[in-house]
């Protein structure tokens, strides 16, 4: 019993969802593996974007080593998809090079809402008591994950909130230092190589006029719809925040310079092309900058804000990169950052 309590405590200790997933994999492997059985665990997250259900594997093991990252599951097994769609546990057997594996797909839910699924494979079938133990860990994980998400998201837009930004930016800066897998006490994080990270500030143009003319109910609907477009355009691995008022922040992970430019421009065009109820056209301005490991968060925000300020002052409804503006002589490093708007 004390071992089970220790694992329950390990799962509910982190405030970071990725570390929670890692703790769950470690706990299930430790509790269910023995000398006669191999256990393989994969944690999947589920997200609905643009009417499509996207499945991402966020933590998995190879023996006692646990890996974390975000790997899209392009072709999930029929059993995994069925577990996610029906919210019922599904079972299957699969043969690999070492023999038959007995696989359990356990949906992770909260109040009938699908958060993800756990794939638990073992070389010997689990006993009834072991299945009950795995199901209990699934329930504990789902409840804690829902509480964690509730505390981290903006109530109106369902994007990440301002209080989570600092920690996410700290992790992004740390990941920029090591472009390869980083061993961390038995955990390896898989990080893409060869691309940069980017920070963008997005501002809805003339939003005050929308609120003043149409009222705050329609203003709130604009915020919700812009957030929905963000979820459709950007990838799950990119972190999306409502930073305050009509400002949003994107932490774009592992994208080339041209790729970053394209995705920010696609987002701007998608917003401009949408007809917002009662209001019609709404536009956004975007300022973004490359993330460097040596960056201080305040300086990084200041650079993106500099590019945004230029876009707002030169016609709005456009995307501007700080480094391009600097190279073209359109802005100077000496200009003071508008820090008061962020802190």
Q: Which residues are catalytic?
A: 246
CATH of domain 2-152: 3.30.450.40
Domain boundaries, the chain: 2-152, 162-178+192-341
Is the distance from CB of 227 to CB of 161 less than 8 angstroms? no
Its pTM stands at 0.74
Is the distance from CB of 119 to CB of 21 less than 8 angstroms? no
**103 is written with which tokens?**
């696989």
Cα four-point dihedral sign 65, 70, 73, 78: positive
- 205 to each of 47, 54, 285, how far by Cα in Å? 29, 31, 7
Please tell me if the domain spanning 2-152 has the same topology as the one spanning 162-178+192-341: no
Q: Which CATH number fits domain 162-178+192-341: 3.30.70.980, 3.30.70.270, 3.40.50.1100, 3.20.20.70?
A: 3.30.70.270
Q: Could you tell me the strand order of the sheet in which 187-189 lies? A: 90-96, 99-110, 113-122, 39-49, 52-62, 65-72, 187-189, 182-184
DSSP character string of 279-338: TB---EEEEEEEE-TT--HHHHHHHHHHHHHHHHHTTSS-EEEHHHHHHTTSS-TTSPP-
The one-digit pLDDT tens for each residue of the chain (343 residues) are 688 899 999 999 988 888 899 999 999 999 998 777 889 999 999 877 666 788 989 999 998 899 988 888 888 999 999 999 898 999 999 887 778 999 999 999 887 778 899 999 999 999 999 999 999 999 999 999 999 888 888 999 989 999 889 888 988 888 665 433 333 445 555 544 457 999 999 999 999 999 999 999 999 999 999 999 999 999 878 999 999 999 999 999 989 999 999 999 999 999 999 999 999 999 999 999 999 988 999 999 999 999 999 999 999 999 999 999 999 999 987 544 444 343 3
CB atoms within 10 A of CB 260: 22
């Amino acid at each position: 019993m004390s071992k089970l309590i220790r694992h329950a405590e390990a799962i509910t200790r982190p405030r970071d969802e990725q570390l929670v997933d890692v703790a769950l994999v470690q706990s299930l492997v430790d509790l269910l593996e023995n000398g006669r059985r191999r256990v393989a665990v994969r944690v999947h997250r589920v997200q609905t974007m643009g009417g499509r259900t996207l499945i991402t594997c966020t933590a998995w093991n190879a023996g006692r080593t646990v890996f974390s990252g975000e790997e899209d599951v392009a072709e999930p097994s029929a059993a995994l998809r069925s577990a996610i769609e029906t919210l019922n546990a599904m079972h299957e057997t699969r043969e690999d090079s070492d023999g038959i594996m007995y696989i359990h797909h356990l949906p992770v839910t909260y109040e009938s809402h699908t958060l993800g699924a756990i794939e638990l494979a073992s070389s010997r079938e689990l006993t009834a008591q072991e299945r009950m133990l795995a199901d209990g860990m699934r329930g504990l994980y789902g409840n804690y994950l829902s509480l964690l998400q509730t505390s981290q998201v903006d109530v109106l837009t369902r994007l990440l909130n301002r209080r989570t930004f600092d920690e996410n930016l700290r992790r992004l800066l740390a990941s920029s230092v090591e472009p390869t897998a980083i061993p961390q006490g038995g955990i390896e994080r898989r990080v893409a190589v060869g691309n940069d990270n980017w920070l963008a500030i997005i501002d809805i143009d003339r939003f005050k006029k929308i609120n003043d003319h149409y009222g705050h109910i329609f203003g709130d609907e604009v915020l919700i719809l812009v957030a929905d477009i963000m979820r459709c355009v950007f990838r799950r691995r990119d972190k999306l925040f409502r930073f305050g008022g009509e400002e949003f922040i994107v932490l774009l992970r592992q994208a080339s310079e041209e790729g970053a430019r394209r995705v920010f421009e696609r987002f701007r065009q998608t917003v401009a092309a949408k007809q917002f109820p009662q209001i019609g056209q709404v536009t956004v301005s975007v300022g973004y900058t490359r993330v460097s490991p040596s960056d201080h968060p305040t300086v990084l925000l200041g650079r993106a804000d500099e590019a945004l300020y230029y876009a707002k002052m030169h016609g709005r409804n456009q995307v501007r990169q700080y480094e391009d503006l600097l190279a073209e002589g359109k802005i100077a490093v000496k200009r003071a950052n508008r820090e008061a708007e962020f802190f």
